[in-house]
Every structure is written in C-alpha cells, then in structure tokens.
Amino acid sequence: AVPSAIHHAGAKPVYVESTTGYTMDPVDLKTKIKSSGAKFCMISHMRGKIADMDEVKRACDAAGVVLLEDCAHSIGVRFGAGTATCPHTGHHGLACAISSQSYKMLNSGEGGFFLTDDGPMAAKVAVYAGAYEGLSEKHITVPPKEVFGDLPNQLPNYSLRMSSLTAAVVRPQIPTIEERVEKYNARYYMMEERLNKHPLIEVPKQNAKVRICGDSIQFNL
C-alpha cells in the first residue's frame, strides 16, 4: 500500500532497509537519501513497530527531506518516554495518515484521517477530498478561508470525504482506545515471554521510547 501511494502521487519509491525489529534503519535511510536525491520520506509504522523517530527526523531535516508518517498500524502507539502520556505517533512528520480500515484499532470498514498542522497542505487535502463551492467552511478542522485562496478552482475534487455514517461508526470507538491498549499489551507481553523461551524464536525488543499497542505480535525464527 505504501509504494502504491507513492506511485499514485507520481513519485518513484526507493526502499530503505529495515532492522531485525521490523523498523526503518536510520543508517540506511541516510545512505538512500544521499544516493537517490530523495525529497520525501514516507515511513510506515507497520504492525505498530516504531523506529527511533528522533533519529529519522534528524536524518530527514539534515538533508532537507520532508518526513511523512503512515500511522495506519500505529493507532494507540505513543513515542517519547515509553508511557501512555507521551504524544501519539505521527508528530515527527509534516503530516500523517491514520486508517480506520477493518483490521485497525479504529474500524469503520474503510476510511481514515489525514493529520497535519501545515495550513496550505491541509487546505489542499480538503479540496482534493471534496471541499468545493465553499464547502470548506463547513469543516471544523481546516485552516481559515484565506488559506484556501483559489485552490478550489485550481485543484481537482476526488470526492473522498468520509461519510457521516462512517464517522458515526468511528467516533464511539475513540474513547475506548486506551482501555483496549491495556488489555492488548497484557496479552502481548505474556505471549512475548512465552515465545522467547523457545531457543529458535525471537520476539524483538521494541524501542524503550515507545509505548506499544500490542494488537498483533511478530517474531523471528
């Protein structure tokens, strides 16, 4: 899905190596940025596994690369001091995407959210999603009208708005995330301990900066 999104945007994906813990390798990221002349880095927090985002951010900033985060698999995951009070994943990049597809922590069948504090980017996304003929004024989370300028006449409308029915399905689930994270993590750490007792199985330790959401478990053989 991630390379497909890059291809859909008219760009060329360049793959960065991962660590044995299934996260982006910051050392190889620097190498690939230099060798490819990358302008953007889209990092996917696959299965809720989070790289050292401080290192990733530093590497991108040093090379003038725009960092974007795919948080489809990291709903409920927090980064900072490894606690529940840390910021949610998605705060290192200029923007992030969150999925509410069937197998995610928020389930509406299909759908998702685009999050950014960049005004022009937010305005463009709103127009692409279908904020035409002044409909942007009905949004409660978009920049002021002046930021939109003439964008509704310049950009296409792909009609990708989340329906009211989909939103109604998602909203009651949001306050339950932390409660479910606690239950999932108790099961995760129990399974991690048992699996790691096997001499041929390794459940990789996750970054100490991360408060996980253990809704799935992966291991190396």
Dihedral (Cα; 216, 91, 116, 76), 10-degree rounding: 30
* CA pseudo-torsion sign 55, 116, 66, 147: negative
Which pLDDT score, from 0 to 100, does residue 40 have? 97
Average pLDDT over residues 123-129: 91
Is 95 in contact with 121 (CB distance < 8 Å)?
yes
Strands (E), the chain: 40-44, 66-70, 78-79, 95-99, 112-116, 210-211
pLDDT in tens, 135-181: 777 777 889 989 998 998 899 988 888 888 999 999 999 999 999 99
Amino acid residing at 148: F
pLDDT in tens, 1-40: 788 989 988 999 999 999 999 999 999 999 999 999 999 9
